[in-house]
Chains A and B, each alone.
Chain A
Amino acid sequence: MEWRRLGFIALIILILIGVVVMIGGGEIAPSVIVVSMIATTIAVATPLTLGALCGVYCERAGVVNIGIEGMMLASAFFGWFAAIYLNTILGMAPMPSLIMGVVAAILTGGLAGLLHAVLSVTYKVDQIIGGTVINILAIGVTGFLNRQLFFEKGSIFGGQVPHAPGVLPRIRIPLLADIPTVGRIFEQQPIAVSAIVLVLVTHFILFYTRWGLRTRSVGEHPRAADTVGINVARMRYANVIIGGLIAGLGGAYFTLESVPSFEPLMTNGRGFIALAAMIFGNWAPFGAWASALVFGAAQALQINLQFFREQIPSQWAFLQQAYIVGLVPYLLTMLILTGIIGKTTPPAADGVPYEK
């Protein structure tokens, strides 16, 4: 990732943290605020990182995926449903139910990825339309099942939302989490930790393995790849499904790690922001992660400003409006995509169906 873009990312995150320190610094020690902001940023960036990684796998193989939002929404629902079903109906203990919930979410994402692959690779549907189909399908199916399963009298849960088995517990990273003050950053929940691990793994796979080379060749020049005997369709299928599995893990974050409940439309555009993070990160895992952190910081700002609501000085009164501060991630996305901080280049065959 080029220095200019990294600098921009660091600057934005510093500004966002600085605003909170300025407002809350009188009440709480600035160091505590900074640490809390960083910890929150890493946590809330999780679905963005995972969504962006999903995009990296798909688009490096030449398939545009704007269905990440829908993939995460569907996974959030089915992961939550599986956890609750195992816990309440089958009487499984909370912890195993949550883990099985995560597995169900990942598989849901994989299925959604398979659908996207069928549409875009086999049927050569316009890929942006295909992604939109997945988004709309996810909204329809989760909305319907949510109503049908939890709010209808005759449903398996008897017409009310059952008590959820909670959320995944925090993991303390040994040694690092014991450092005074700063240690808080290294106490994260499992999906947040695995997101960072997946960034490293994806970087390695993409740039240091044969699989990664083949993936990239299929996304850059499928004809050449085909000529040397790489099965373009199979590579694309595999990568879009892998992307789906990762988006599924991102979906699990919403209902199994962040809050123990499901609401219709709860992904709230995070899948699209993840896509922007991937673009700004130049279709590379580390770049995508760094960009995801920017949006994470913007969201952490919103969360912390609500906490310090009373301290906000009157000349900054607009910061008290949750709806106004809520605009920041979306405005940042648009600003970043204008290309004023340098243009990024997509894989050459991104979005183009391959005709033999």
Chain B
Amino acid sequence: MSTSVEKTAPETTFKVLEKLRPATNAVLVPLLAVFTALVIGALVITAVGGDPIAAYKGLFEGAFGSAKALSETTVWATPYIFAGLAVALAFKGGLFNIGAEGQLALGAVAAAWVGYALPDVLGVTLPAVVHIPLAVGAGMLAGAIWGAIPGWLKARMGGHEVINTIMMNYIALNMTSFLLNGPMKDPSPLNVVARTPNIAEGARIPPIFPGFRLHWGFILALVVAGVVWWVLQKTTLGFEIRTAGANPNAGRYAGVNVPRTIVVTMMLSGILAGLAGTIEVTALNYRHELGFSVGYGFDAIAIALLGKTHPLGVVLASLLWGAMRNGATRMQFLTQIPVDVISVIQALILLFVAADAIIRWIYHIRAREERVVLTRGWGG
């Protein structure tokens, strides 16, 4: 009897390990990608005459060294979570949304307008219970429209969403430049910056703890991440999105209205990106300023890929991104290494996550996960 137990024990262990392998791989490869990028980043810092250990120490302190630092990290992470979810959701539907940046900017513009102008237009002071939902809703609506247009162009006309979302980024940038320099510019006599006036008190989402900038928008981001997971995994809509993404032909046979699903996916993606801008306006800056959103679209792509398009992964990747952006300021203060080095490290992270074969080759990780089709060529 005892011999059989001894015999099966290693087998069971092996089986458990086999079962765990995809899970450990899913975590291991991104972690090693981050590690490798940091090592190369250290080489870059050394090459420009800096001290990488001091730089990374400053980076870590700035990101996690105090309650204030932690609070700032979550503040930085909040828009990344929303925008990262936007890109991840689109990926699940087989769509590459490079347009998060434009959707985000227009969401911010719409939320800011409702925040500062609507009370004057209506001639009443709106209470927070009405004003906050209106502002947030306006931002979501703007994002939805800006996301749905390239979705519709793809579903009905076959225009590839990659180029169309990029073009709509530039259109959004021109539009916000026009609005913030013209009709929506803060009219106060001292202002020379392209920005809107401050939004009304009633439209502001408050901080959670007095004295810290950590705000309820961060909690909302976590909740939304949960909702996205639930929609994707537990609802018919989520099934349709995933099917249209994984195999549109099979989806068609299973009764999925693929064109409609494409439009809905891009609209939901736009809503999430719009929320990123909306929350920055209503919970943090209390106005929209030209240029604050630059780069978020590409960051969101990197975050979605680093998080393996899983909502939990997106949240963790966003926290990492937020920590790096936040800590970079202290790093620059202590070591004079420009914050831009973070962009290089983040680009390298993306490189290694996208080309995970390189990471597997460096660290001799054999087992491959199933290849996920993320995007398709110009044909369809």
Q: Is the CB of B164 within 8 A of A334?
A: yes
Q: Is the CB of A136 within 8 A of B347?
A: yes
Tell me the smallest distance from the CB of B358 to a CB of chain A, in Å.
Answer: 7
The yes or no answer to A180 lying at the interface (CB within 8 A) is: no
Alpha-carbon gap, A125 to B350, bound state (A): 12
What number of A-B contacts does a CB cutoff of 8 Å give?
147
Q: Is the CB of B174 within 8 A of A144?
A: no
Chain A residues in contact with chain B, CB under 8 A?
64, 66, 119, 123-130, 132-133, 135-137, 139-141, 143-144, 146-148, 152, 154, 265, 268-269, 272, 275-276, 279, 321, 323-324, 326-327, 330-331, 333-334, 337-340, 343, 346, 350-352
A-B contact pairs, 22 of them (CB 8 A): A128-B162, A129-B305, A132-B98, A132-B298, A132-B354, A137-B347, A140-B346, A141-B347, A144-B44, A144-B343, A144-B344, A268-B170, A275-B163, A323-B181, A330-B167, A330-B170, A334-B153, A334-B159, A338-B158, A339-B157, A339-B159, A351-B377
Q: Is the CB of A321 within 8 A of B159?
A: no
Tell me the smallest distance from the CB of A220 to a CB of chain B, in Å.
Answer: 13
| Contacting residues of chain B (123-170) with chain A, CB-CB under 8 angstroms | 153, 157-160, 162-164, 166-170
Residues in A with CB closer than 8 Å to B298 are 132, 135-136, 139
Once A152-B338, A269-B166 are accepted as A-B contacts, the answer to whether A338 and B354 lie under 8 Å apart by CB is: no
Residues in B with CB closer than 8 Å to A152 are 336, 338
Residues in A with CB closer than 8 Å to B340 are 140, 143-144, 146-148
Once A123-B358, A323-B178, A350-B378 are accepted as A-B contacts, the answer to whether A136 and B159 lie under 8 Å apart by CB is: no
Alpha-carbon gap, A128 to B91, bound state (A): 12
Tell me the smallest distance from the CB of A135 to a CB of chain B, in Å.
Answer: 7
Q: Is the CB of A339 within 8 A of B163?
A: no
Alpha-carbon gap, A123 to B374, bound state (A): 15
The yes or no answer to B302 lying at the interface (CB within 8 A) is: yes
Q: Is the CB of A125 within 8 A of B347?
A: no
For B343, the closest partner residue in chain A by CB is A140
Once A119-B354, A324-B174 are accepted as A-B contacts, the answer to whether A339 and B158 lie under 8 Å apart by CB is: yes
Q: Is the CB of A343 within 8 A of B354?
A: no
Residues in B with CB closer than 8 Å to A334 are 153, 159, 163-164, 167-168
| Contacting residues of chain B (211-225) with chain A, CB-CB under 8 angstroms | none
Once A272-B166, A323-B178, A324-B178 are accepted as A-B contacts, the answer to whether A133 and B343 lie under 8 Å apart by CB is: no
Q: Is the CB of B167 within 8 A of A124?
A: no
Alpha-carbon gap, A128 to B305, bound state (A): 13
Q: Is the CB of B174 within 8 A of A346?
A: no
Tell me the smallest distance from the CB of A279 to a CB of chain B, in Å.
Answer: 6
Alpha-carbon gap, A340 to B153, bound state (A): 11
Q: Is the CB of A123 within 8 A of B357?
A: yes
Alpha-carbon gap, A275 to B378, bound state (A): 11
Q: Is the CB of A129 within 8 A of B174?
A: no
Alpha-carbon gap, A66 to B341, bound state (A): 24
The yes or no answer to B117 lying at the interface (CB within 8 A) is: no
For B298, the closest partner residue in chain A by CB is A136
Residues in B with CB closer than 8 Å to A350 are 377-379
Residues in B with CB closer than 8 Å to A265 are 294
Q: Is the CB of A338 within 8 A of B157?
A: yes
Across the A-B interface, give the 3 residue pairs with the lowest CB-CB distance, nearest first: A351-B377, A140-B343, A323-B178
Tell me the smallest distance from the CB of A288 to a CB of chain B, in Å.
Answer: 14
Alpha-carbon gap, A152 to B351, bound state (A): 27
Q: Is the CB of B338 within 8 A of A147?
A: yes
Residues in A with CB closer than 8 Å to B96 are 128
Residues in B with CB closer than 8 Å to A129 are 305, 354, 374-375
Tell me the smallest distance from the CB of A56 to a CB of chain B, in Å.
Answer: 13
Q: Is the CB of B357 within 8 A of A136?
A: no
Alpha-carbon gap, A331 to B177, bound state (A): 17
Q: When the two chains form the complex, which single residue of A66, A128, A323, A338 contacts B159, counting CB atoms closer than 8 Å?
A: A338
Q: Is the CB of A137 within 8 A of B163?
A: no
Q: Is the CB of B178 within 8 A of A148?
A: no
Residues in B with CB closer than 8 Å to A136 are 298, 301-302, 346-347, 350
Q: When the two chains form the complex, which single residue of B167, B348, B377 contacts A333, counting CB atoms closer than 8 Å?
A: B167
Q: Is the CB of B377 within 8 A of A346?
A: yes
For A135, the closest partner residue in chain B by CB is B298
Once A152-B338, A269-B170 are accepted as A-B contacts, the answer to whether A333 and B162 lie under 8 Å apart by CB is: no
Alpha-carbon gap, A346 to B376, bound state (A): 12
Residues in A with CB closer than 8 Å to B379 are 346, 350-351
The yes or no answer to B23 lying at the interface (CB within 8 A) is: no
For B372, the closest partner residue in chain A by CB is A126
Given contacts A129-B374, A343-B158, 15 further A-B contacts (CB under 8 A): A66-B162, A123-B357, A126-B374, A126-B375, A128-B377, A133-B350, A139-B295, A144-B340, A275-B163, A276-B167, A321-B178, A324-B178, A338-B157, A339-B159, A340-B157
Residues in B with CB closer than 8 Å to A135 are 298
Residues in A with CB closer than 8 Å to B357 are 123-125
